[in-house]
Amino acid sequence: MNIDKILAEMSLEEKASLCSGEGFWHTKSVERLDIQKIMMSDGPHGLRKVNEERDCVTDESIEAVCFPTASALACSFDRDLIEKLGKALGDECQAEGVAVILGPGANIKRSPLCGRNFEYFSEDPYLSTEMASAYIKGVQSRGVGTSLKHFALNNQEYRGMSVSAEVDERTLREIYLASFEGAVKNAKPWTVMCSYNRVNGVHSSENPKLLSNILRDEWEYKGLVVSDWGAVDNRVNGIKAGLDLEMPSSLGKNDKFIVEAVRLGKLDIKDVDKCVRRILELIDKYEDGKKSNIIWDKEKHNKLAAEIESECMVLLKNEGNILPLDRSKKIAFIGRFAESPRYQGGGSSHINSYKVTSALEAVKDICKVTYAEGYNTVEDETDDKLLSEAVQAAKECEIAVLFVGLPDLFESEGYDRSHLRLPECQIELIERVSEVNENTVVVLHNGSAVEMPFADNVKGILEAYLGGQAVGQAEVNILFGKKNPSGKLAETFPRKLSDNPSYLNFPGEGDRVRYQEGIFVGYRYYDKKEIEPLYPFGYGLSYTTFEYKDIDISKSEMNDDEEVTVTVTVKNTGKIKGKEIVQLYVNDEQSSVIRPIKELKGFEKVMLNPGEEKKVAFVLDKRSFAYYNTDISDWYTEYGKYNIFVGSSSRDIRLKTCVYVAPTNKIRVEYTLNSTGGDVMSTEMGKELFKEFLKEVNAGINSGSDKSEGELSMYNELPLRAMVSFSDNANITREKLSQFVKRLNIMINSDLY
């Protein structure tokens, strides 16, 4: 496609027309110029291709394969696995003539109450961006585009199309934009989807700071920006801000505003041309990679869905090694989700699955079990007959496996959860069953964290999340030991909702929600506040055990424009093969700004046979140590000691080392007479110069440079100017203090430091 030639031949009306969709799922075509329309389709954990254009909600989508949702996928901590999933989805899109699948969702799980959390990866931006990058690379390797969403701060459903997320710049950069930044830079998604909400008062769909200044200028994004469906408020402002494509169709209404604004001189035609060019580039990219010989093997992809979910489930408790189950024992499967599992979320990502495998069906290939329904999912009321049957089944068996979780009624796109509890009828079921059978195992089906008042009363807990259409097969594989569980939590499970950092400010007041917890989201908060969670970020058990040893670092000192490699050796000390997720966290030991205790900066999943050991390597760069400095509007690494923790979870640190990092672009420091002694002594040079000054003004007195740390600490909170008033030493004058400050600024900002 000769884009320059086409642009030159297009009329203003044609250009404006191309900037919005045709119907719900297609871009517009321009037959006169041989511009073909292309199709977008909902995702991200399966292909939701709607047969008709009339209505995105009521029309039935094609039969497809439902893979595990993002909430489960992230628990795999497995880039290769997620990329494999992406390739399968890319092939499906090619087979169905879909140019762009609408995913992945990289928004941060600020609160476990968000109704759409099942579609998001993690509370941690590094894990989120790594998972999103792998997904994008997989899909786009098949000549199909992705749409990284929802940019940005789409963290609740309450008033989701109008609420303004009020957030400070550092929090915005370190947490909420960071989950997109790596994916944009490393994986280069064909499209980025802007969110419904406003950010600090400005709609994302017309936010120049987000769409142009950050996304295009800073991150050098070259692809297309598409609106979330119905997110456009002012189309002309959107064009100016960098929103290329409005979806779905506005039936030409907004196209007319574009034409009118250009003719009245309120909109530069060059801005329209930029949008049209990117739309044409997207169409051209898909047409160039279009394949007609792709065969969609649904059964093969169903097996892949089971394989993936087996890698994602998290074993939370295994008292007395009750798992894996002994098939020779009498076992009862209890709970409706054993027969009809909840395996996906509601809303735009809902897949019309061509088949669903329940645990009750899959277990037939292993052994015979007793089944009791236990509860219904239509309403949260105890059915005495179902409960009685379940308790009786539990009494008559040696092991009771309870399949419970959140029904569709409790969580979905479109509304947020009001609490973290399971349905009361299920809680009662768990209590009654565990009373009559001490060997009770709970299998959870949910899109986000739940409270577990039953945790101390059962012997096993397996978190399946929303595991896709083959969830039952995967559950049986784990329960009976055909697969060794290897997933770890991508979010913190609090003991109670009020422990969550967003508790006092979610979902906000009216059309404003304040992110007053700042950078302390998820485990960053629980660590800083010393709150013991129910299960911490990165936690997950295995049927084998692992030993960590021999941590090594390639250098002990570095500049922040260099890289450092950290290696550790991990050994399988158990009797069966298994996979361990090795996690690396970084801690700034002495920071001038408030920072988390630790932040995830690396992870690797490693397979080990019994007795086998492998060396795992992590490469750390400037961003591994930096924070976002709002004074310079850039990432900055302070000089100092950085501790490096390696462990099995955020609360299970096995090894530790450190590195000293120096900034290459030092921030100029300007001390004044209002600076405190603590400010001055925050650097080694400042401390030495302060000691020298004290020695000079105390000439002949044996208390100058030999002052102890305790004596020096008395100056920590004292402004330099106050030393004149609080000292009976006549040598300490304002003039001498001014001279000291001048010398200090010269030395501290010189190349010698």
Q: Distance (Å, rounded) from C-alpha 483 to C-alpha 479? A: 8
Q: How far apart are CA 475 and CA 481, in angstroms?
A: 10
Question: Residue 355: which of 412, 428, 306 has the closest Cα?
Answer: 306
Beta strands 613-620; 352-353: pairing state = unpaired
- Which candidate, 71, 86, 109, 206, places its Cα nearest to that of 506? 109
Residue 456 CA to residue 286 CA, distance in Å, equals: 54
Query: Tokens at residue 607, please?
Result: 């397979």
Q: How far apart are the first and last CA of the chain?
A: 56
Concatenating the DSSP letter of every residue in 23-64 gives: TTTEE--BGGGTBPP-BEEE-SSS-B-BS-SS-TTTSPBPEE
User: In whole angstroms, what is the distance from residue 339 CA to residue 373 CA?
Assistant: 8
Grouping H, G, I as helix, E, B as strand and the rest as coil, residue 170 is helix
Query: Rounded to an integer, what distance in angstroms lies between the CA atom of residue 108 and that of residue 179?
Result: 7
Is 228 a catalytic site residue? yes
Residue pair 398/331 in contact (Cβ under 8 Å)? The answer is: yes
Structure tokens at 239: 């064009």
What distance in Å separates the CA atoms of residue 397 and residue 371, rounded to the nearest whole number?
11
Q: Which of 42, 91, 124, 228 is catalytic?
A: 228
Distance (Å, rounded) from C-alpha 619 to C-alpha 566? 6
Q: Which of 135, 142, 144, 141 is nearest to 38 (CA)?
A: 144
Q: How far apart are CA 293 and CA 46, in angstroms?
A: 20
Q: Could you give the CA distance from residue 113 to residue 118 in angstroms, rounded to a whole number?
A: 11
Contact 578, 354 (CB under 8 A): no
Can you state the percent helix, strand and coil of the chain, rounding each to 5? 35, 20, 45
Locate 420 and state its tokens. Answer: 């973290």
User: Three-class SS of residue 326?
Assistant: coil
H-assigned helices in 343-487: 359-362, 384-396, 424-436, 471-479
Residues contacting 225, CB < 8 A, separation 6+: 151, 191, 192, 193, 194, 211, 215, 242, 243, 244, 245, 278
Sign of the torsion formed by the C-alpha atoms of 408, 411, 416 and 421 = positive
Beta carbons within 8 Å of 545's beta carbon, 6+ residues apart: 572, 573, 574
Beta bridge partners of 662: 559
Which residue reads 């998604």 in tokens?
189
Active site residues: 228
